[in-house]
Structure 1
Amino acid sequence: MSRRRNSIMSSQLKEQIAQELGFAGTLHQEGFGGVSSRNCGNMVKMAIELAERNLPGNNMT
């Protein structure tokens, strides 16, 4: 099974989430190679939470 090369999240959203989680500096200096697995996981978790909040018909505000 091949990996998906097209990103679902925009670069702008990734940078915004990294800023909120406090590792935007590392991301800008070293790219994702310098970001820890834990921070990447936290980033995915936050992206999922944002997506779930923005689903149509979702009343969890």
Structure 2
Amino acid sequence: MTQQVQDLYDDEAEFKELIDCARMSAANDWEEKFVAGIIDKFERFGRGMYLSDLQHEHLKRISGEE
């Protein structure tokens, strides 16, 4: 399922914290590129950005939340 960031996070700062943590915790090229792509989309679309369940899971795993 795909949802907008605004549906998943009430506070924009909470999502920014997740992607910042993921960016700093990325352990390989794939993770770095994945997080960079998410950051690019978020900068363009803000909280209206769509995020799939799988993308959300990857972000949380990379950041160490899971």
Q: Which has the larger radius of gyration?
A: 1
Interval of TM-score (by shorter of Structure 1 and Structure 2): 0.3 to 0.5
Give the structure with the higher percent strand.
Answer: 2
Taking structure 1 as the reference length, what is the TM-score of the superposition? Answer: 0.42
Bigger RCO (CA 8 Å, 6+ sep): 2
Structure whose residues are more often helix by fraction:
2
TM-score by length of 2: 0.40
